[in-house]
Structure 1
Amino acid sequence: MTAPGAPAPARTGGPATGTAGPGIVVTGATGAVGRHVARLLAQRAGARHSLFVRDPGKAAALGLPGPAVRGDYTDPESLRRALDGADAVFVVTANPLRPQDDERVLAAARAGGVRHAVKLSWCGVADPGADDLVARWNRRSEELLRDSGLSWTVLRIRTPMSNALAWAPSIRDRGVVRAFGGAARTACVDPRDVAAAAVAALTDPRHAGRTYALAGPEALSPREQTGVLAEVLGRPLVFEEVAEEEARAGWSRRYGERIAEALVSGARRRAGGAAAACDDGTLARLLGRRPRTFGEWATDHVREFV
């Protein structure tokens, strides 16, 4: 594995856009990062891409450019249709209880002649103290990619800034943010910056065989993020700490007990500073500029909080 920020060797047969097939296939295209990958690819002259989505209607409602191919990771035939003749694929899987999703995507990519895969992963993979379900699943997913026979790039990210959108209803209704681990600082990252890094990795062969850790430029706690949002919105906001048991119960109802325990474990590590390391220059070099701050992200998304 090449260390982040080290020069990458030139190669042949890497990410490219050919003259037939869908070019680049974007999975997770309606997600926080994938939607921006699709938009950035649409702005690149000569680039061709398609969207692999469960619900083409959602992609249309988001105004995502590019043809949408209906499919699901549990349907290998839909993956085969989407990836046949493609040059590269952006791989986003989201269910640690279904590790076979990555296996199916990579198998369809090999069968379809895909040359390069860019995988969205998590910075916690590199944390020796992270041994929960989510950490183990991400590690295994990376191993599958590296052993796939495809050219590859791994993007490990910190918590996306867009997670703060979960607070929007309570901010609008009551001027309140409720969260577990209110003092735990995280170098959260703008999904648009991650998407720009993904597009670079999908289209430039110099990123092959690389693993990048992508973090934001500042470490903020949920309580501090609440202060930033209050300043951007021009109104007072109150932060309320959520007890661990309440957080666990809520996550259990939404995701099930196994994932809930992993999320609690991750929150405890964040409280100990495990996610506070800011961008070491890796993301800035990929972008050719400094990464966006949480304040900039909040300013650009102010309408979603009012």
Structure 2
Amino acid sequence: MILVTGATGVVGREVAGQLAAAGPVRILARRPERLTVRGEGVEVVEGEYADRAALDRALRGVSSVFLVTNSPTEPDDERVAAAAAAADVRHLVKLSMMAVEEPGADDFITRLQRGNEQAIRDSGVPWTFVRPRTFMSNTLSWARGIRSAGVVRALYGDAPVACVDPRDVASVAVAVLTGTGHEGKAYAVSGPEAITAREQTAQLSRVLGRPLRFEELDVAAARTALLAKYPPPVAEAFLESAERQRAGAKAAVLPTIQELTGRPARPYRVWSAEHAAAFAPE
């Protein structure tokens, strides 16, 4: 049995769905009513990482775990890893981020994920880390501006990033969860091309069949917008990440998806065409 956490997120729900299409899967969910993956072979355990009893129920009889955590304050990786060790789990596959392996990355979120990875290593449970680049789905944050004014506002419009479709990240995770020989490895996962925000805007314009305008934010405006949504350390981490992208640190294209899944990574033009409805006027 494989346990999937984070199954309401963009990667976790795809992992759960792909696994459910092939056999039984168990999901740990804090809010089961939000799950979209359902079926005869889908078992749901309600609970959260801080609830050790719920973790123990979810891990009973489980051989592998797909782990997604996102709290900046809770030791959730340590909690799950400790419970997994007690349950004799044979493989813990963690969704991490590519920045953890980059020496120039030292923002709050990257340091947090490095610590989370170390907690898993220290647990003694065999592990694999899946480290994706920026998700293509992050551009859904542009949808409101596109719908209302035909405009995309973002930092550094000419900074390239080899962004990746979350479905491809999920396929890599499923290959790791269901395959052999992946323990002790970390897989950096990128999309098939480095693309800029201006180029993404142009692609969305073609898909939607309407003109879109790109407006580059300055750092002060971007900081104000981020602080309206996130705590200061998280907002500053996003700004530092954007600076690294501007410097070219996120442009490398890697063959991981092809190597582990046997098929090419989806480009942004495919993702945008399949998600056009999210950007269309209501």
Q: TM-score, normalised by structure 2?
A: 0.94
CA distance in 1 between partners of 2:234 and 2:183 (Å) = 32
Identity of aligned residues (%): 49
The answer as to whether partners of 1:79 and 1:105 remain within 8 angstroms in 2 is yes
1:84/1:113 contact within 8 Å kept? no
Instruction: Give, as a single letter, the amino acid of the residue that structure 2 aligns with 1:105.
Output: V
- What residue in structure 1 maps to residue 15 of structure 2? 37
Match for residue 285 of structure 1 among 244, 249, 259: 259
Of 49, 63, 78, the residue aligned with 2:25 is 49
2:111 aligned residue: 136
Q: Is the 8 A contact 2:137 2:165 kept in 1?
A: yes
The structural deviation recorded for 1:64 is 4.4
Aligned length: 278
CA displacement, residues 20-62 of structure 1 (integer Å, 9 cap, x when unaligned): xxx1111110101011101100121xx3211112211111xx3
Q: Contact 2:17–2:37 (CA<8 Å) still a contact in 1?
A: no
Measured after TM superposition, the shift of residue 97 of structure 1 is 3.0
Check if 1:89 corresponds to 2:65: yes
> What letter matches 1:110 in structure 2?
A
CA distance in 1, matches of 2:151, 2:73: 33
Give CA-to-partner distance per residue, 1:243-270, whole Å, 9 cap, x none: 2122222222322011111111111111
Deviations 1:105-145 (A, max 9, x none): 11111122211110111111111111111111111111222
Q: Deviations over 1:157-191 (max 9, x none)?
A: 10011111111122122211111222211100011
- State the SS of the aligned residue for 2:157: coil
CA contact under 8 A between 1:50 and 1:67: conserved in structure 2?
yes
**1:67 maps onto 2:59 in alignment:** no
After TM superposition, the runs of 4+ consecutive aligned structure 1 residues lying more than 4 A away are none
Secondary structure at the counterpart of residue 124 of structure 2 = coil
1:246 to 209, 215, 221: 221
Secondary structure at the aligned position of 1:211 is classed as strand
State how far apart, in whole Å, the 2-side matches of 1:176 and 1:170 are. 5
- Partners of 1:161 and 1:190 within 8 A in 2: yes
* TM-score for both structures, normalised by structure 1: 0.87
Query: 2:203, 2:26 → 1: CA distance?
Result: 36
| Higher RCO (CA-CA < 8 Å; seq separation 6+) | 1
State the SS of the aligned residue for 1:223: helix
Give 1:288 deviation, angstroms. 0.4
Query: Following the alignment from structure 1 to structure 2, what is the Cα–Cα distance between the partners of residues 82 and 201?
Result: 20
1:267 corresponds to which residue? 242
